[in-house]
Protein backbone atom coordinates (compact mmCIF):
# COMPACT_ATOMS: atom_id res chain seq x y z
CA UNK A 1 0.00 0.00 0.00
CA UNK A 2 1.33 3.47 -0.88
CA UNK A 3 0.72 6.78 0.82
CA UNK A 4 1.96 9.77 -1.18
CA UNK A 5 2.03 12.81 1.08
CA UNK A 6 1.78 16.50 0.27
CA UNK A 7 1.81 16.19 -3.52
CA UNK A 8 0.07 18.79 -5.65
CA UNK A 9 -2.87 16.60 -6.67
CA UNK A 10 -4.69 17.48 -9.90
CA UNK A 11 -7.90 15.57 -10.58
CA UNK A 12 -10.40 17.61 -12.62
CA UNK A 13 -13.06 14.89 -12.28
CA UNK A 14 -13.30 15.71 -8.56
CA UNK A 15 -12.36 19.37 -8.80
CA UNK A 16 -9.10 18.74 -6.90
CA UNK A 17 -6.17 21.07 -7.62
CA UNK A 18 -4.08 21.49 -4.48
CA UNK A 19 -1.79 19.92 -1.92
CA UNK A 20 -3.07 16.68 -0.41
CA UNK A 21 -2.31 13.02 0.28
CA UNK A 22 -3.28 9.98 -1.77
CA UNK A 23 -3.50 6.44 -0.39
CA UNK A 24 -3.77 3.45 -2.69
CA UNK A 25 -3.09 -0.20 -3.22
CA UNK A 26 -4.52 -1.76 -6.40
CA UNK A 27 -7.28 0.83 -6.16
CA UNK A 28 -7.52 4.37 -4.86
CA UNK A 29 -8.36 4.13 -1.14
CA UNK A 30 -8.46 7.78 -0.08
CA UNK A 31 -7.58 11.30 -1.21
CA UNK A 32 -7.46 14.00 1.46
CA UNK A 33 -5.53 15.91 4.09
CA UNK A 34 -3.30 14.32 6.74
CA UNK A 35 -3.99 10.72 5.81
CA UNK A 36 -2.04 8.14 7.80
CA UNK A 37 -3.21 4.90 6.22
CA UNK A 38 -3.56 3.08 9.57
CA UNK A 39 -7.31 2.57 9.13
CA UNK A 40 -6.67 0.65 5.95
CA UNK A 41 -3.76 -1.51 7.09
CA UNK A 42 -4.20 -5.18 7.80
CA UNK A 43 -1.57 -7.85 8.44
CA UNK A 44 -1.15 -8.63 4.73
CA UNK A 45 -0.22 -5.03 3.81
CA UNK A 46 2.83 -2.87 4.34
CA UNK A 47 2.63 0.87 4.03
CA UNK A 48 5.23 2.80 1.99
CA UNK A 49 5.09 6.51 2.76
CA UNK A 50 6.57 8.95 0.23
CA UNK A 51 6.98 12.67 0.85
CA UNK A 52 6.20 14.40 -2.44
CA UNK A 53 6.67 18.14 -1.80
CA UNK A 54 7.18 20.00 -5.06
CA UNK A 55 5.77 17.17 -7.16
CA UNK A 56 2.44 16.78 -8.91
CA UNK A 57 0.30 13.69 -8.68
CA UNK A 58 -2.38 13.08 -11.28
CA UNK A 59 -4.33 10.21 -12.85
CA UNK A 60 -2.33 8.27 -15.45
CA UNK A 61 -2.34 9.78 -18.92
CA UNK A 62 -4.33 7.95 -21.59
CA UNK A 63 -3.03 8.06 -25.15
CA UNK A 64 -5.80 7.26 -27.59
CA UNK A 65 -3.51 7.33 -30.62
CA UNK A 66 -0.31 5.29 -30.93
CA UNK A 67 1.41 2.99 -33.40
CA UNK A 68 3.13 0.03 -31.74
CA UNK A 69 4.10 -1.66 -35.07
CA UNK A 70 3.64 -5.23 -33.84
CA UNK A 71 2.99 -7.45 -35.69
CA UNK A 72 5.13 -6.81 -38.73
CA UNK A 73 7.57 -4.00 -38.04
CA UNK A 74 9.19 -5.02 -34.78
CA UNK A 75 12.38 -3.37 -36.02
CA UNK A 76 10.65 0.00 -35.36
CA UNK A 77 8.78 -0.89 -32.14
CA UNK A 78 7.07 -3.85 -30.56
CA UNK A 79 4.30 -4.02 -28.03
CA UNK A 80 6.74 -4.53 -25.13
CA UNK A 81 9.08 -1.68 -26.06
CA UNK A 82 6.09 0.55 -26.89
CA UNK A 83 4.25 -0.19 -23.63
CA UNK A 84 7.43 0.49 -21.65
CA UNK A 85 8.24 3.70 -23.50
CA UNK A 86 4.63 4.77 -22.94
CA UNK A 87 4.68 4.26 -19.20
CA UNK A 88 8.05 6.03 -18.98
CA UNK A 89 6.30 9.00 -20.57
CA UNK A 90 3.45 8.96 -18.03
CA UNK A 91 0.87 6.95 -20.00
CA UNK A 92 -0.92 4.23 -18.09
CA UNK A 93 -3.17 3.26 -21.03
CA UNK A 94 -2.48 3.44 -24.75
CA UNK A 95 -4.64 2.61 -27.74
CA UNK A 96 -2.70 0.73 -30.43
CA UNK A 97 -3.66 1.56 -34.00
CA UNK A 98 -4.50 -1.13 -36.53
CA UNK A 99 -2.10 -0.23 -39.37
CA UNK A 100 0.26 -3.09 -38.57
CA UNK A 101 1.39 -5.82 -40.97
CA UNK A 102 -0.92 -7.69 -41.12
CA UNK A 103 -3.65 -5.19 -40.28
CA UNK A 104 -5.64 -5.71 -37.04
CA UNK A 105 -8.85 -6.65 -38.82
CA UNK A 106 -9.64 -10.06 -37.32
CA UNK A 107 -10.33 -11.59 -33.94
CA UNK A 108 -7.00 -13.44 -33.66
CA UNK A 109 -4.99 -10.26 -34.03
CA UNK A 110 -7.11 -8.30 -31.55
CA UNK A 111 -6.52 -11.06 -29.03
CA UNK A 112 -2.83 -11.15 -29.90
CA UNK A 113 -2.36 -7.42 -29.20
CA UNK A 114 -4.20 -7.73 -25.89
CA UNK A 115 -2.18 -10.68 -24.66
CA UNK A 116 1.16 -9.16 -25.73
CA UNK A 117 0.11 -5.97 -23.95
CA UNK A 118 -0.62 -7.84 -20.74
CA UNK A 119 2.83 -9.48 -20.82
CA UNK A 120 4.62 -6.16 -21.38
CA UNK A 121 4.35 -4.79 -17.82
CA UNK A 122 4.23 -1.24 -19.11
CA UNK A 123 1.16 0.81 -19.92
CA UNK A 124 -2.10 -1.05 -20.50
CA UNK A 125 -2.38 -1.70 -24.25
CA UNK A 126 -5.82 -1.72 -25.83
CA UNK A 127 -6.39 -2.53 -29.49
CA UNK A 128 -8.06 -0.27 -32.02
CA UNK A 129 -9.34 -2.52 -34.82
CA UNK A 130 -9.48 -1.47 -38.47
CA UNK A 131 -12.69 -0.13 -40.01
CA UNK A 132 -12.16 -1.89 -43.35
CA UNK A 133 -10.40 -5.14 -44.18
CA UNK A 134 -6.68 -4.57 -44.77
CA UNK A 135 -7.34 -0.79 -44.61
CA UNK A 136 -8.49 -1.06 -48.22
CA UNK A 137 -11.55 1.13 -47.75
CA UNK A 138 -14.01 -1.50 -49.06
CA UNK A 139 -15.37 -4.38 -46.97
CA UNK A 140 -16.08 -3.54 -43.33
CA UNK A 141 -14.53 -5.63 -40.53
CA UNK A 142 -16.85 -7.62 -38.26
CA UNK A 143 -17.11 -4.88 -35.65
CA UNK A 144 -19.35 -6.76 -33.22
CA UNK A 145 -16.94 -9.70 -33.11
CA UNK A 146 -13.83 -7.55 -32.77
CA UNK A 147 -15.40 -5.47 -30.01
CA UNK A 148 -16.29 -8.66 -28.15
CA UNK A 149 -12.66 -9.75 -28.50
CA UNK A 150 -11.45 -6.49 -26.90
CA UNK A 151 -11.25 -3.72 -29.52
CA UNK A 152 -12.17 -0.39 -27.88
CA UNK A 153 -12.47 1.67 -31.09
CA UNK A 154 -12.26 1.34 -34.87
CA UNK A 155 -9.99 3.23 -37.25
CA UNK A 156 -8.19 2.91 -40.58
CA UNK A 157 -5.71 5.46 -39.21
CA UNK A 158 -2.79 6.01 -41.52
CA UNK A 159 -5.45 6.28 -44.25
CA UNK A 160 -8.78 8.01 -44.49
CA UNK A 161 -11.87 6.03 -45.49
CA UNK A 162 -12.22 7.51 -48.97
CA UNK A 163 -15.81 6.57 -49.88
CA UNK A 164 -18.54 8.41 -48.00
CA UNK A 165 -20.91 5.45 -48.31
CA UNK A 166 -18.40 3.13 -46.59
CA UNK A 167 -17.92 5.67 -43.79
CA UNK A 168 -21.67 6.00 -43.37
CA UNK A 169 -22.08 2.24 -42.98
CA UNK A 170 -19.11 2.09 -40.63
CA UNK A 171 -20.66 4.76 -38.39
CA UNK A 172 -23.91 2.76 -38.35
CA UNK A 173 -22.27 -0.57 -37.50
CA UNK A 174 -19.95 0.96 -34.88
CA UNK A 175 -23.07 2.11 -33.04
CA UNK A 176 -23.93 -1.52 -32.36
CA UNK A 177 -20.71 -1.80 -30.34
CA UNK A 178 -20.91 1.56 -28.54
CA UNK A 179 -17.30 2.24 -29.65
CA UNK A 180 -16.08 5.48 -31.22
CA UNK A 181 -15.02 5.47 -34.84
CA UNK A 182 -11.74 7.34 -35.18
CA UNK A 183 -11.45 9.18 -38.46
CA UNK A 184 -8.07 9.90 -40.05
CA UNK A 185 -9.32 12.80 -42.15
CA UNK A 186 -7.38 12.81 -45.39
CA UNK A 187 -8.84 13.02 -48.86
CA UNK A 188 -6.24 11.20 -50.95
CA UNK A 189 -7.28 12.87 -54.20
CA UNK A 190 -6.13 16.16 -52.63
CA UNK A 191 -3.21 14.95 -50.49
CA UNK A 192 -1.49 12.34 -52.65
CA UNK A 193 2.12 13.05 -53.49
CA UNK A 194 2.48 15.85 -50.93
CA UNK A 195 4.91 15.74 -48.03
CA UNK A 196 4.24 18.93 -46.04
CA UNK A 197 1.49 21.55 -45.65
CA UNK A 198 1.01 23.51 -48.87
CA UNK A 199 1.91 27.16 -48.46
CA UNK A 200 4.71 29.66 -48.60
CA UNK A 201 7.20 27.33 -46.87
CA UNK A 202 6.57 24.33 -49.15
CA UNK A 203 7.03 26.60 -52.16
CA UNK A 204 10.25 27.95 -50.70
CA UNK A 205 11.62 24.44 -50.10
CA UNK A 206 10.43 23.17 -53.47
CA UNK A 207 8.41 20.40 -51.83
CA UNK A 208 4.99 19.22 -52.98
CA UNK A 209 2.39 20.57 -50.61
CA UNK A 210 -0.73 19.00 -49.10
CA UNK A 211 -3.58 21.53 -49.05
CA UNK A 212 -5.30 22.08 -45.69
CA UNK A 213 -8.56 21.14 -47.44
CA UNK A 214 -7.37 17.51 -47.69
CA UNK A 215 -8.15 17.24 -43.97
CA UNK A 216 -10.93 19.79 -43.65
CA UNK A 217 -13.26 18.36 -46.32
CA UNK A 218 -13.18 14.91 -44.79
CA UNK A 219 -13.68 16.23 -41.25
CA UNK A 220 -16.74 18.17 -42.46
CA UNK A 221 -17.99 15.13 -44.44
CA UNK A 222 -17.72 12.78 -41.47
CA UNK A 223 -19.46 15.21 -39.13
CA UNK A 224 -22.34 15.50 -41.62
CA UNK A 225 -22.50 11.71 -41.95
CA UNK A 226 -22.67 11.38 -38.16
CA UNK A 227 -25.45 13.98 -38.14
CA UNK A 228 -27.38 12.06 -40.79
CA UNK A 229 -27.03 8.62 -39.26
CA UNK A 230 -25.69 8.88 -35.71
CA UNK A 231 -22.58 7.13 -34.44
CA UNK A 232 -19.77 8.19 -32.12
CA UNK A 233 -17.25 10.03 -34.27
CA UNK A 234 -13.76 10.97 -33.09
CA UNK A 235 -11.50 13.09 -35.30
CA UNK A 236 -7.82 12.14 -35.04
CA UNK A 237 -4.84 14.51 -35.14
CA UNK A 238 -6.64 17.74 -36.07
CA UNK A 239 -4.35 20.21 -37.82
CA UNK A 240 -6.44 22.73 -39.78
CA UNK A 241 -8.51 25.74 -38.72
CA UNK A 242 -11.40 24.68 -40.97
CA UNK A 243 -11.56 21.18 -39.45
CA UNK A 244 -11.68 22.80 -35.99
CA UNK A 245 -14.51 25.08 -37.19
CA UNK A 246 -16.38 22.00 -38.43
CA UNK A 247 -15.89 20.29 -35.06
CA UNK A 248 -17.14 23.37 -33.22
CA UNK A 249 -20.21 23.52 -35.50
CA UNK A 250 -20.84 19.78 -35.04
CA UNK A 251 -20.85 20.12 -31.27
CA UNK A 252 -23.20 23.10 -31.45
CA UNK A 253 -25.59 20.94 -33.49
CA UNK A 254 -25.50 18.25 -30.81
CA UNK A 255 -23.67 15.74 -33.03
CA UNK A 256 -21.75 13.09 -31.09
CA UNK A 257 -18.28 14.15 -32.20
CA UNK A 258 -14.98 14.68 -30.38
CA UNK A 259 -11.49 15.60 -31.54
CA UNK A 260 -7.84 15.27 -30.60
CA UNK A 261 -4.70 17.28 -31.27
CA UNK A 262 -1.09 16.08 -31.17
CA UNK A 263 1.60 18.00 -29.24
CA UNK A 264 3.71 18.44 -32.39
CA UNK A 265 0.85 20.28 -34.13
CA UNK A 266 0.68 22.69 -31.17
CA UNK A 267 4.43 23.22 -30.81
CA UNK A 268 5.84 23.25 -34.34
CA UNK A 269 4.63 24.78 -37.60
CA UNK A 270 5.58 24.38 -41.26
CA UNK A 271 8.06 27.24 -40.76
CA UNK A 272 10.21 24.86 -38.66
CA UNK A 273 10.69 22.41 -41.52
CA UNK A 274 14.03 22.19 -43.34
CA UNK A 275 14.93 19.75 -46.07
CA UNK A 276 16.81 17.44 -43.70
CA UNK A 277 14.33 17.60 -40.84
CA UNK A 278 12.42 14.44 -41.61
CA UNK A 279 11.65 13.99 -37.90
CA UNK A 280 9.12 16.81 -38.47
CA UNK A 281 7.52 15.04 -41.43
CA UNK A 282 4.17 13.94 -40.06
CA UNK A 283 0.73 13.17 -41.36
CA UNK A 284 -1.28 15.36 -41.22
CA UNK A 285 1.57 17.76 -41.94
CA UNK A 286 2.63 20.49 -39.51
CA UNK A 287 0.18 23.38 -39.71
CA UNK A 288 0.76 26.99 -40.65
CA UNK A 289 1.60 29.15 -37.61
CA UNK A 290 -1.89 30.66 -37.89
CA UNK A 291 -3.64 27.28 -37.77
CA UNK A 292 -1.43 26.24 -34.87
CA UNK A 293 -2.84 29.17 -32.89
CA UNK A 294 -6.39 28.06 -33.72
CA UNK A 295 -5.63 24.53 -32.52
CA UNK A 296 -4.36 25.78 -29.16
CA UNK A 297 -7.35 28.08 -28.66
CA UNK A 298 -9.68 25.15 -29.41
CA UNK A 299 -7.88 22.88 -26.95
CA UNK A 300 -8.04 25.51 -24.23
CA UNK A 301 -11.74 26.30 -24.81
CA UNK A 302 -12.62 22.58 -24.92
CA UNK A 303 -13.68 22.38 -28.58
CA UNK A 304 -10.81 19.95 -29.04
CA UNK A 305 -11.38 17.39 -26.31
CA UNK A 306 -8.06 15.68 -25.92
CA UNK A 307 -4.34 15.43 -26.50
CA UNK A 308 -2.85 12.33 -28.14
CA UNK A 309 0.71 11.59 -29.23
CA UNK A 310 0.27 9.75 -32.56
CA UNK A 311 3.48 7.99 -31.46
CA UNK A 312 4.80 6.79 -34.83
CA UNK A 313 8.21 5.13 -34.60
CA UNK A 314 10.29 4.72 -37.77
CA UNK A 315 13.81 3.46 -38.36
CA UNK A 316 16.77 5.78 -38.70
CA UNK A 317 17.44 4.44 -42.22
CA UNK A 318 13.92 5.34 -43.38
CA UNK A 319 14.05 8.79 -41.84
CA UNK A 320 17.49 9.38 -43.40
CA UNK A 321 15.91 9.37 -46.87
CA UNK A 322 15.32 12.65 -48.74
CA UNK A 323 12.34 14.54 -47.29
CA UNK A 324 9.77 13.53 -49.95
CA UNK A 325 10.60 9.81 -49.55
CA UNK A 326 10.89 9.54 -45.76
CA UNK A 327 7.86 8.07 -43.95
CA UNK A 328 5.44 10.29 -42.02
CA UNK A 329 5.65 10.08 -38.23
CA UNK A 330 7.17 11.34 -35.00
CA UNK A 331 8.20 9.35 -31.93
CA UNK A 332 6.11 10.71 -29.08
CA UNK A 333 5.70 8.66 -25.91
CA UNK A 334 8.81 9.65 -24.00
CA UNK A 335 8.96 13.34 -24.80
CA UNK A 336 5.32 14.40 -25.29
CA UNK A 337 4.58 15.32 -21.69
CA UNK A 338 7.85 17.23 -21.17
CA UNK A 339 7.33 18.99 -24.52
CA UNK A 340 3.80 20.10 -23.59
CA UNK A 341 5.01 21.08 -20.14
CA UNK A 342 7.85 23.24 -21.43
CA UNK A 343 6.09 24.72 -24.47
CA UNK A 344 2.55 25.21 -23.18
CA UNK A 345 2.18 24.80 -19.41
CA UNK A 346 5.21 26.76 -18.21
CA UNK A 347 4.51 29.75 -20.48
CA UNK A 348 0.93 29.79 -19.11
CA UNK A 349 -0.88 28.78 -22.30
CA UNK A 350 -2.38 25.60 -20.79
CA UNK A 351 -3.08 24.92 -17.11
CA UNK A 352 -2.10 21.64 -15.43
CA UNK A 353 -5.76 20.94 -14.87
CA UNK A 354 -6.52 21.45 -18.57
CA UNK A 355 -3.64 19.14 -19.43
CA UNK A 356 -4.95 16.38 -17.14
CA UNK A 357 -8.50 16.81 -18.41
CA UNK A 358 -7.34 16.55 -22.02
CA UNK A 359 -4.90 13.68 -21.55
CA UNK A 360 -6.65 11.57 -18.95
CA UNK A 361 -10.23 12.41 -17.99
CA UNK A 362 -11.68 13.13 -21.44
CA UNK A 363 -10.03 10.14 -23.16
CA UNK A 364 -11.31 7.83 -20.38
CA UNK A 365 -14.84 9.20 -20.71
CA UNK A 366 -14.96 9.14 -24.50
CA UNK A 367 -13.51 5.65 -24.92
CA UNK A 368 -15.18 4.15 -21.84
CA UNK A 369 -11.89 3.27 -20.16
CA UNK A 370 -10.86 2.67 -16.56
CA UNK A 371 -8.83 5.51 -15.08
CA UNK A 372 -9.06 9.20 -15.84
CA UNK A 373 -9.62 10.13 -12.22
CA UNK A 374 -8.52 9.47 -8.64
CA UNK A 375 -12.00 8.60 -7.38
CA UNK A 376 -11.97 6.11 -4.50
CA UNK A 377 -12.27 2.55 -5.87
CA UNK A 378 -10.90 3.46 -9.31
CA UNK A 379 -7.82 1.47 -10.38
CA UNK A 380 -4.67 3.16 -9.06
CA UNK A 381 -3.33 4.45 -12.40
CA UNK A 382 -1.13 7.21 -11.04
CA UNK A 383 1.65 9.52 -12.20
CA UNK A 384 4.00 11.26 -9.81
CA UNK A 385 5.44 14.12 -11.84
CA UNK A 386 8.45 16.30 -11.13
CA UNK A 387 8.34 19.58 -13.07
CA UNK A 388 12.06 20.08 -12.42
CA UNK A 389 13.37 16.62 -13.29
CA UNK A 390 15.77 17.19 -16.20
CA UNK A 391 17.11 14.73 -18.74
CA UNK A 392 19.07 14.90 -21.94
CA UNK A 393 17.16 12.84 -24.47
CA UNK A 394 19.48 10.11 -25.73
CA UNK A 395 20.32 6.41 -25.65
CA UNK A 396 20.90 6.37 -21.84
CA UNK A 397 17.30 7.25 -21.04
CA UNK A 398 15.46 5.96 -24.12
CA UNK A 399 13.19 2.89 -24.28
CA UNK A 400 11.50 3.11 -27.69
CA UNK A 401 13.22 1.12 -30.45
CA UNK A 402 13.20 4.17 -32.74
CA UNK A 403 14.70 7.59 -32.27
CA UNK A 404 12.74 9.73 -34.75
CA UNK A 405 12.27 12.66 -32.41
CA UNK A 406 13.23 16.33 -32.84
CA UNK A 407 14.30 16.31 -29.18
CA UNK A 408 17.25 13.90 -29.54
CA UNK A 409 20.31 15.27 -27.68
CA UNK A 410 18.17 18.09 -26.26
CA UNK A 411 17.75 18.78 -22.56
CA UNK A 412 14.15 18.62 -21.37
CA UNK A 413 12.47 18.90 -18.00
CA UNK A 414 9.12 17.86 -16.58
CA UNK A 415 9.02 14.06 -16.35
CA UNK A 416 7.14 11.41 -14.42
CA UNK A 417 9.31 10.07 -11.60
CA UNK A 418 7.06 7.16 -10.64
CA UNK A 419 4.09 5.57 -12.40
CA UNK A 420 1.70 2.93 -11.08
CA UNK A 421 -0.66 0.92 -13.28
CA UNK A 422 -3.44 -0.66 -11.24
CA UNK A 423 -1.27 0.00 -8.17
CA UNK A 424 1.69 -1.86 -9.65
CA UNK A 425 4.84 0.29 -9.75
CA UNK A 426 6.35 0.22 -13.23
CA UNK A 427 10.15 -0.08 -13.33
CA UNK A 428 10.31 1.54 -16.77
CA UNK A 429 9.13 4.86 -15.33
CA UNK A 430 10.97 4.81 -12.02
CA UNK A 431 13.17 7.87 -11.58
CA UNK A 432 12.30 8.71 -7.96
CA UNK A 433 14.94 7.49 -5.50
CA UNK A 434 12.60 7.48 -2.48
CA UNK A 435 10.01 5.39 -4.32
CA UNK A 436 12.74 3.04 -5.55
CA UNK A 437 14.09 2.56 -2.00
CA UNK A 438 10.60 1.87 -0.67
CA UNK A 439 9.96 -0.69 -3.43
CA UNK A 440 13.29 -2.44 -2.73
CA UNK A 441 12.55 -2.56 0.99
CA UNK A 442 9.10 -3.93 0.30
CA UNK A 443 10.48 -6.66 -1.95
CA UNK A 444 13.07 -7.62 0.72
CA UNK A 445 10.36 -7.91 3.39
CA UNK A 446 8.26 -10.03 1.03
CA UNK A 447 11.25 -12.27 0.29
CA UNK A 448 11.88 -12.79 4.00
CA UNK A 449 8.21 -13.63 4.57
CA UNK A 450 8.26 -16.07 1.67
CA UNK A 451 11.32 -17.79 3.06
CA UNK A 452 9.80 -18.03 6.55
CA UNK A 453 6.42 -19.33 5.46
CA UNK A 454 7.47 -21.22 2.32
CA UNK A 455 4.59 -19.59 0.49
CA UNK A 456 4.74 -18.57 -3.17
CA UNK A 457 5.34 -14.94 -4.13
CA UNK A 458 1.97 -13.55 -5.18
CA UNK A 459 1.79 -12.85 -8.91
CA UNK A 460 0.44 -9.51 -10.07
Q: What is the closest distance, in whole angstroms, from the C-beta atom of residue 292 to ligand DOR in the complex?
A: 16
**What is the C-alpha to C-alpha distance for residues 245 and 252, in angstroms, rounded to an integer?**
11
Closest Cα partner for 265 from 245, 247, 288? 288
Q: Is 259 in the site for ligand DOR (CB under 6 A)?
A: no
Within 338-377, which residues bind ligand DOR (CB under 6 A)?
none
Q: What is the closest distance, in whole angstroms, from the C-beta atom of residue 310 to ligand DOR in the complex?
A: 6
CB 432 within 8 A of CB 57: no
Q: What is the closest distance, in whole angstroms, from the C-beta atom of residue 4 to ligand DOR in the complex?
A: 36
Contacting ligand DOR (CB under 6 A), which of 157, 222, 334, 386? 157
Q: Is 130 in the site for ligand DOR (CB under 6 A)?
A: no
| Ramachandran angles phi, psi of 202, nearest 5° | -65, -40
Contacting ligand DOR (CB under 6 A), which of 5, 8, 55, 67? 67
3-state secondary structure of 424: strand
Is 271 an active-site residue?
no
Q: What is the closest distance, in whole angstroms, from the C-beta atom of residue 444 to ligand DOR in the complex?
A: 44
Interface with ligand DOR: number of residues (CB under 6 A): 12
Percent helix, strand and coil across the chain, each to the nearest 5: 35, 20, 40
Q: Which residues contact 132 (CB under 8 A, 6 or more apart)?
A: 105, 138, 139, 140, 141, 156, 161, 166, 170
Q: Are strands 382-392 and 411-421 parallel, antiparallel or unpaired?
A: antiparallel
**What is the C-alpha to C-alpha distance for residues 374 and 380, in angstroms, rounded to an integer?**
7
Closest CB to ligand DOR among residues 306, 312: 312
Closest Cα partner for 248 from 290, 295, 288, 293? 295
Q: What is the closest distance, in whole angstroms, from the C-beta atom of residue 281 to ligand DOR in the complex?
A: 8
Contacting ligand DOR (CB under 6 A), which of 8, 124, 184, 401? 184
Closest CB to ligand DOR among residues 8, 65: 65
Contacting ligand DOR (CB under 6 A), which of 155, 283, 309, 400? 283
Beta strands in 262-345 (DSSP E): 306-307
- Which residue is catalytic, options 270, 310, 381, 386? 310
Q: Pseudo-torsion of CA 294, 264, 384, 445, nearest 10°?
A: 150
Q: Is 336 in the site for ligand DOR (CB under 6 A)?
A: no
Within 315-334, which residues bind ligand DOR (CB under 6 A)?
327-329
Q: What is the DSSP letter of 258?
A: E
**Crossing angle, helix 241-252 and helix 213-229, to 10 degrees?**
10
Q: Which residues contact 49 (CB under 8 A, 6 or more apart)?
A: 3, 5, 37, 438
Closest Cα partner for 37 from 1, 65, 8? 1
Q: Is 75 in the site for ligand DOR (CB under 6 A)?
A: no
Closest CB to ligand DOR among residues 82, 158: 158
Q: Is 303 in the site for ligand DOR (CB under 6 A)?
A: no
Residues 193-232, mask of contacts with ligand DOR (x by CB under 6 A): ----------------------------------------
Using the CB atoms, write b or e for 376-398: b if 16+ within 10 Å: eebbbbbbbbbbebebebeeeeb
Q: What is the closest distance, in whole angstroms, from the C-beta atom of residue 217 to ligand DOR in the complex?
A: 17
Contacting ligand DOR (CB under 6 A), which of 50, 312, 344, 412? 312
Closest CB to ligand DOR among residues 57, 280: 280
Residues 79-118, mask of contacts with ligand DOR (x by CB under 6 A): --------------------x-------------------
Contacting ligand DOR (CB under 6 A), which of 78, 187, 260, 310? 310
Q: Are strands 91-96 and 124-129 parallel, antiparallel or unpaired?
A: parallel
Q: By the criterion CB under 6 A, which residues form the site for ligand DOR?
A: 67, 99, 157-158, 184, 282-283, 310, 312, 327-329
Catalytic residues: 310
Amino acid sequence: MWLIKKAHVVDPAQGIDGICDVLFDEFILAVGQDLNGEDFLDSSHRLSVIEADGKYLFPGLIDVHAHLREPGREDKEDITSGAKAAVRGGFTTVLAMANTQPVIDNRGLVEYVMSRGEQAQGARVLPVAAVTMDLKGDALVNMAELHKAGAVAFSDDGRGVQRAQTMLLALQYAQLTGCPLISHCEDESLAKGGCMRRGFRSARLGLTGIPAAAESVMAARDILLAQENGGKLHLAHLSTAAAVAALRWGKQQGIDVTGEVNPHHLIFSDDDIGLTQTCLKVNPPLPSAEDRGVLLTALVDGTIDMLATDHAPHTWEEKARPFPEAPFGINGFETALAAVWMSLVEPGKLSVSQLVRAWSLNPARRFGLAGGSLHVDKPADIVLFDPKHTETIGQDVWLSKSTNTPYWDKEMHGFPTAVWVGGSLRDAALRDAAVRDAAIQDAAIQDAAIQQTGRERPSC
